[in-house]
Structure 1
């Protein structure tokens, strides 16, 4: 496979062996899928073999996308039936403010994305809140020790890394109503899809808390609250600053159209920033940064003390990060081209 830079695009040339054995054909499909391994439901191209091609006819097909142009060169007739191969590219949609189409609410892609958000949020909340309950079960201590704080931060970081990585191909890997709000404010998601995401995230957090209460034989989820000696205003500022850092990282590693190969480490970077923020804010207000993460345990454990700051703070921080990144860091986006002619030397 040969790769050369071409303006804002990258041109990939796939030259295949002349003998199309089943293993070679399978390898071709795997190469194409690997090139678009990180997908979020943005179709790049569809390849449908033409049955009318002669045995030695050379067929070239060019497909344009936001970041990738692929030239498929068929040397000989394909012997087995391949109906179509749809390849997706990990590419956030361009900035566009919209309520959403009438058919979007019932579209299968929207349902799949909402399901991915539900499952990934369940995974994250179950592991995050579960680590706190596990420490309570082991130590029976009334205060959090430094080693306990490290364990909780690590559990949240690893769980969020896994949750984002497992859902980024389907929904974009928000796992957080504040991240969804930032994407909505930045024009990266429609209002209809944002509402679906919020419902799915809250339900995922509630189900995770219910599962924890059942699995731990009735242990009451701890949730979040401001520590003694810390005012609600201090906790609110902490949530704003920490969520700002989280959403800014999401924009830089997942949403920014100029991120390039940095998107590969996006889930890991997001997990790292959450773990680091818990080490900072955990002793003061628990470091939620996620309204769903706070809401599920609060509902199941019925703990509502200081709960409002875990909604207001993250939404303010997410909104500030989205607006700053959208209109200062990436004020304009490169134009989207759907076709780029081949240079003569490529024939």
Structure 2
């Protein structure tokens, strides 16, 4: 029944999004249509991810979902870079990091925890990801902030470019480590049981169809998201929102809506390895691939983007990483831990709203 509702929303919402943008319908109506269409498309991305996870395993399924989901944000950010909106791009990157670690993981733990008292995921993956998170956010993002205080713009940009190249290289090495050289080495009993159950479970779609649906859904979400960005200023004025709040909270939530929905659905079905891989894997991809790529791409535009965030952005990201590391390092979750992450996200959201 739910799938039929989302199918109806997709086949009505996507054409209306195209027609509405071409015919310049009222902005508030377009805002609502765009948001509902993205939510409907997110359901398809979630179902495709689940099918891929059954066929190819939770790591690859989660990685593909995060990659297609972050492709939307990368596209939006490139358009924003071209327009010279460096502040909005950095704010949306911040929003993605805290959104994935606190909102997505928090909702996944909370929703899954309401159904299952104790949910387990691969503790070795959790600890491996913790080290990468600490490196990507606390080392690679804090150092440019500290060193830039005693540097001019040219040197700060050179430092940012150097760090970006190292981040991309390390991210690719991390993928090679997880998917090739050490694939299955750190498998827990729970993960093996889940894998065995997954082999008995029939995927809704085959591998080819799942990847095709993910690709088409991503393209549709990218088109709608780009149009949605243009409605933010009107909506911001209507609700009294600041540009920083839009970048950190609104753009980040909408840009990552697809993977948000997928992670929560996986947690509800007690497929925590996939849910955690989507939430944390997406954060790592944002910090170690998307952000560095945007720094390098900005060299092609008139206004360059150094990897230097504002102090509130930096502190919220570091706090999110430390909280997620402490909560996830034992390889298990419950609804209260999810609620703790959500409470932290709400506190930060209030702060950015009032800033």
TM-score, length-normalised on structure 2? 0.28
Identify the structure with the greater strand proportion. Answer: 1
Instruction: From the CA coordinates, give the structure whose radius of gyration is larger.
Output: 1
Whose relative contact order is higher, 1 or 2, with alpha carbons under 8 Å and at least 6 apart? 2
TM-score by length of 1: 0.29
